[in-house]
Amino acid sequence: MASVSYHIANLLEKMTSSDKDFRFMATNDLMAELQKDSIKLDDESERKVVKMLLKLLEDKNGEVQNLAVKCLGPLVNKVKEFQVETIVDTLCTNMISDKEQLRDISSIGLKTVISELPPAPTLLATSICKKITGRLTAAIAKQEDVSVQLEALDILGDLLSRFGGLLINFHPSIQHALLPQLSSARLAVRKRSIIALGYLVMSCNNSLFIDLIEFLLTELSKNSSTSTTRTYIQCIGAISRQAGHRVGEHLDKIIPLIVKFCRIEDDELREYCIQAFESFVRRCPKEISGYINSIVDICLEYICYDPNYNYDEEDDDEGMEANGDDDDEGESDDEYSDDDDMSWKVRRASAKCLDAIISTRHEMLMDFYRTVSPAIIARFKEREENVKADIFHAYISLLRQTRPTVSADPDAMEQGEGPVNLLQVQIPSIVRAVHKQLREKSIKTRQGCFSLLTELIQVLPGALADHISVLIPGIIFSLGDKNSSSNMKIDTLAFLNCLLSNHQPFVFHPHVPIIVKPIVSAVGDQFYKITSEALLVTQQLVKVIRPLDVVCSFDFTPYVQALYQSTLFRLRAADIDQEVKERAIACMGQIISNLGDSLQSELSTCLPIFLERLRNEITRLTTVKSLTLIAASPLKIDLRPVLGEAIPILASFLRKNHRALKLSTLTCLDVLVRNYGAMMTDIVKEAMISDIMKELPPLINETDLHISQLTMNLLTSLSQIDRASMNHIQTGILPQIMELIRSPLLQGGALNSMLEFFQALVATATPRLGFKELLEMMTKPIYEPQQFSSSPSHSSLALHKQAFYSISRCFAVLTVGQISGAGQAIVEKLIYDVKKSGQDSIKLFGLLTLGEIGKKVDIDSSGELLKVIVGSFSSHNEEVKSAASYALGNVSVGNLPKYLPFVLNEIETQPKRQYLLLHSLKEIISCESVSASTISHIQPYIENIWTILFHHAECAEEGTRNVVAECLGKLTLLAPIELLPKLKENLSSPSALTRSTVVTAVKFTISDQPQAIDSLLRGSIGDFLHTIQDPDLNVRRVALVAFNSAAHNKPSLIRDLLNKILPHLYEETKVRKELIREVEMGPFKHTVDDGLDIRKAAFECMYTLLDSCLDRIDIFDFLNHVEDGLKDHYDIKMLTYLMLVRLSHLCPSAVLQRVDRLLDPLRSTCTTKVKANSVKQEFEKQEELKRSAMRAVASLLAIPDADKSPLMNEFMSQIKSNVELSALFESIQKDVASTPSETSLMDTH
């Protein structure tokens, strides 16, 4: 402490020196000391330092003054409170000094002090803010010196933006001081007053806010001068931008006034009026709804408002347009042709306002295409560059709004009057308006045109097919124009790439001669970004001039050398940018793949370069992908010269710890083996296969099923080109495969690739790996379980349930191939094992395998099989019963006339086995609905099945009813025209159980793929969903589940019904006291909520609607119910937290209006403590709730301007002051980027 005090005293002494350099260096050293965290000053040193720095603010040397001001920042957090007050007092006094330089430096000092105060409300911050505010308010009210007023307003704005909530007592006096300044003679004073008022309204109370609005409305009504009217409208706009959620309720009074002022002949006033409309549209989305059409009309009128210019001449004479460009050549972006003409500001404000309306009103898309779109297209001719950029942006926003419609509703294309069809009709007008401008000198205009056309292609791929000839000259102009900037060329190439990749190749063929030259020239450009983009275009162009997937008569040969040589130059260069290297490799791969037969003599030059790039760690992945492309080419490019070196390198990649490289390498090796294996000499082939196979064993395991799948595909290909290679798999590879087959994770693609491999392996007739040996290896874990320990300890089975399914499928696929020979004996042994074995594992395996075999061939010639399967229905083991049900269904598929009548008869006569038999029936229907030919097999039985299913639709067991419903749904898909009306008839059944079965059945008719039933469902889904109003609780629940399924898989079915359904859906989110009951469990009373399941179903529907039908929802009504859900049961809270995260991304402005109401329940969750004597699960539940609530808070905080809410700031301070919550919040903020799970779709049950 003593040494610090001594050092500080030394510096202070030097600060009094007459030499300005001494003073400067001493102040600089003091700055360095104050920035150290470890420094601690005693009271005397504090006093002296503060006194000296305040004195140096009046130093004659400006540099010393500036350093002294900078020292105040770190000093504020190092000295005691009363010293900070001294600093602030002095600075405030200096603020109203006569010396201008002292005033300026003091105002900078005050801003520095304010910025350094801690953001959390502390006593110091509160005290300082109050001290400054009083002085500033007085300085503002004092009218004499405008410069003092300006500085005071500036500082007050800073203070209110950071600490508005601490100054609540001062708000009335601040507002009282600010309002008169709105009519100040100086525009700068008015402007800063508006900024300060904007910050004030974020934290002031409601009565003060109402006073402010009333004052502005009164003044506007007086309209004493146009100048002040402009200011008041600007002020309303600023208030709306900062606190839109509070302005909403006053819009009914505000809008008519502003509409009236739009008609006054004053361009600036009009601009401010339209800017105010824009802020209302963005910040008060609900309240502005009734005025949207009027605002659109005003904007459409004023977007054309250009009284000093006649566009007709320009339309008539293109030559004049070209000459007109020369006049504007020397103008910068911010200069305009006529200094007195302010009409461009009105047009720009109109374009921006339309942009805001289009971006926020998705539900009006159809109207926009009818009225707004033609008007904006007509204004593409706008003469002012900046206004034109905003007009283009407005149209791009319209296209972006259309994109979700195209993806969410694939039927939109079929509807005669959808937005997509309206856009299609307007494409010729768009191209006509844009194509001339592609040759303008203005770079900004051309970039705007390309952005717009790119967006158009992404919304409607292929849309410009009829207009390519009109667009190509503009593209060539931008690529060849010497005045084009690098960015202009890059944008042009990016557009050309988009154009080439989203249209049919033949539409470009007439233009290839003129396109190739500028692209080749761009590949040779000195700027690497242009080269990189040009290589992408070249790659796409190669696919266009010679598409390999369609027959094409275009003569591509004249262009091959030019494209090849330009790419080869870039491929050879070693000292170029990484991105260019990778794109040159990819482009050359495409050239050889598509044009290789015309480059035979060049391959000896080019392919060795690929080997070099393969050895380079940075370029190897791209090279592997390019080699795969070349090897897969139908042109059969001769790669033999490089395969000898390439394959060992590729094989070595399989041991690298780089997943993407492994995946690409396995695919590449598979293609090489299949396409080139047969061409190689035996010696080369043997060496190649040996290199590959020694790397494969570690790749086959359950930790990465995709890699396992590709490895087995490669093994299958190897077995087909060299049978002898399979002799080597017994030691390393086969044990790994046999271990994988026992994995509970094996399924899907990996299991299918294993089936193919086993079939290929048997076909090789490798010694000791024949049909019987493989079957024995597969079944060893089942028949000799003591040697293996793969099953869960509590299970009576030898392996996990999924492993039985995997082994039975592999076993069956081999047996079916040998069914006419050794396979028959295997089937008989399996039947015997099921009948006689005392082990559940052997029975389970036998039944599953018999089912798999029986699906393909009829194996029950003696009738023994049926008895064995039916006998297994009586097993004590549930898994064996389930397997017997599965087996019966599958065996029936193999011989439908024999087994299906038996199954249907059993369902009727065996009530105890009904559930299992219905599962068998479900299996039959599923297998027979695969194709038209299989449907014809089951067609004669449909009516009989339907009748039997409805006999059991009223079953008391919910599990049985669900299986009946699934069967009914799948059956309806087979004959929708006949069966859907029958299903609908049963909605009026007096039995609630039947109604619930029927509604559940409808759920199974809805899938995410197009189906024949879709058009019929669209007409009748409303009747099925009407059951949301059913008097029975369970029927309402299943109706919600069906609704959720429709919203998730096929939103187009329910979009138009939402107006009727949503009120009933919201009704089901409410807690109903009559459904809550108390159950006595021994000495304890337990509360049971029978309405919880239906509430959960309702909230799940709400979540799904956010993704598929957001444009049809009144978001504020929706938020009311989300708010209720935040106070509900644990499961529902978790759902609503997820919804909040989604809503924060999808409609931030609406959520911001409600943020204060949403924070209360979140805060109570985060601060709730579990009772000390609670069970472990309670603690875990509460932790999970806290984490999810915190994730929701993090999403709310990410909304722009959410940090300006006083409640949010208070909550954040509370989090930061609590060690546990603070750590949790930090970890969540880090996770948010890497775990986007909250935005993923929920499963639909």
Cross-strand partners of 1078 = 1087
Residue 63 has pLDDT above 80, yes or no: yes
Residue 1182 has pLDDT above 50, yes or no: yes
Percent of the chain with pLDDT over 70: 93
| Placement of tokens 């339209």 in the chain | 274
SS3 for 383? coil
SS3 for 604? helix
**Region 387-414 average pLDDT:** 75
Q: Hey, what are 221's tokens?
A: 């009504």
Question: Comparing 50-64, 439-453, 615-629, which segment has the lowest mean pLDDT?
Answer: 50-64
Residue 320 has pLDDT above 50, yes or no: no
- pLDDT category at 345 given cuts 50, 70, 90 is very high
Residue 1105 has pLDDT above 50, yes or no: yes
**Region 915-935 average pLDDT:** 85
Residue 578 has pLDDT above 60, yes or no: yes
Residue 330 has pLDDT above 80, yes or no: no
Give the model confidence (pLDDT) of 869-910 as tens digits: 888 888 888 899 999 999 999 988 888 888 888 888 888 888
Cβ neighbourhood burial of 102 (10 Å; 0-12, 13-18, 19+): middle
Give the model confidence (pLDDT) of 639-676 as tens digits: 888 888 999 999 999 999 999 999 999 999 999 999 98
CA 204 – CA 172 distance, rounded (Å): 9
| Placement of tokens 């491999």 in the chain | 757
Give the model confidence (pLDDT) of 510-524 as tens digits: 999 999 999 999 999
CB 190 within 8 A of CB 182: yes
Give the model confidence (pLDDT) of 262-309 as tens digits: 988 889 999 999 999 999 998 888 888 899 999 999 999 999 998 887
Residue 316 has pLDDT above 60, yes or no: no
Residue 626 has pLDDT above 70, yes or no: yes
Residue 111 has pLDDT above 90, yes or no: no
Residue 951 has pLDDT above 70, yes or no: yes
**Region 143-153 average pLDDT:** 77
Residue 329 has pLDDT above 50, yes or no: no
Question: Comparing 359-363, 593-597, 614-618, which segment has the lowest mean pLDDT?
Answer: 359-363
| Placement of tokens 């200069």 in the chain | 335
Give the model confidence (pLDDT) of 602-614 as tens digits: 999 999 999 999 9
As a residue count, the chain comes to: 1245
Q: Which residue has the higher pLDDT, 165 or 598?
A: 598
Q: Which residue has the higher pLDDT, 328 or 426?
A: 426
CB 279 within 8 A of CB 241: yes
CA 543 – CA 523 distance, rounded (Å): 17
pLDDT at 119: 62
CA 599 – CA 560 distance, rounded (Å): 8
CA 473 – CA 489 distance, rounded (Å): 14
Question: Which of 99-113, 190-204, 788-802 is most confident?
Answer: 190-204
Q: Which residue has the higher pLDDT, 627 or 402?
A: 627
**Region 216-234 average pLDDT:** 88
Count other Cβ atoms within 10 Å, centred on residue 935. Answer: 15
Residue 321 has pLDDT above 60, yes or no: no
SS3 for 1080? strand
pLDDT at 683: 72
Q: Which residues of 389-404 are buried (b: 16+ CB within 10 A; e: fewer)?
A: bbbbbbbbbbbebbee
What one-character DSSP code corresponds to residue 727?
G
- pLDDT category at 1141 given cuts 50, 70, 90 is very high
SS3 for 879? helix
Give the model confidence (pLDDT) of 1031-1081 as tens digits: 999 999 999 999 999 998 888 888 888 888 999 999 999 988 888 787 877
Residue 943 has pLDDT above 80, yes or no: yes
Give the model confidence (pLDDT) of 1057-1069 as tens digits: 888 899 999 999 9
pLDDT at 324: 39
pLDDT at 1038: 92
Residue 1241 has pLDDT above 70, yes or no: no
pLDDT at 1: 46
**Region 178-201 average pLDDT:** 89
Cross-strand partners of 1076 = 1089
Characterise 872 by phi-psi region: left (phi > 0), alpha (psi -120 to 50), beta (else): alpha
Residue 11 has pLDDT above 60, yes or no: yes
Give the model confidence (pLDDT) of 474-491 as tens digits: 999 999 888 778 999 999
pLDDT at 328: 41
CB 840 within 8 A of CB 880: yes
Q: Hey, what are 853's tokens?
A: 């075999």
Question: Comparing 462-471, 524-533, 826-835, which segment has the lowest mean pLDDT?
Answer: 826-835
Q: What average pLDDT is seen over the chain?
A: 85
Q: Which of 1004, 858, 1003 minimizes the C-alpha distance to 926?
A: 1004
Question: Which of 137-141, 334-338, 1121-1125 is most confident?
Answer: 1121-1125
Residue 1140 has pLDDT above 90, yes or no: yes
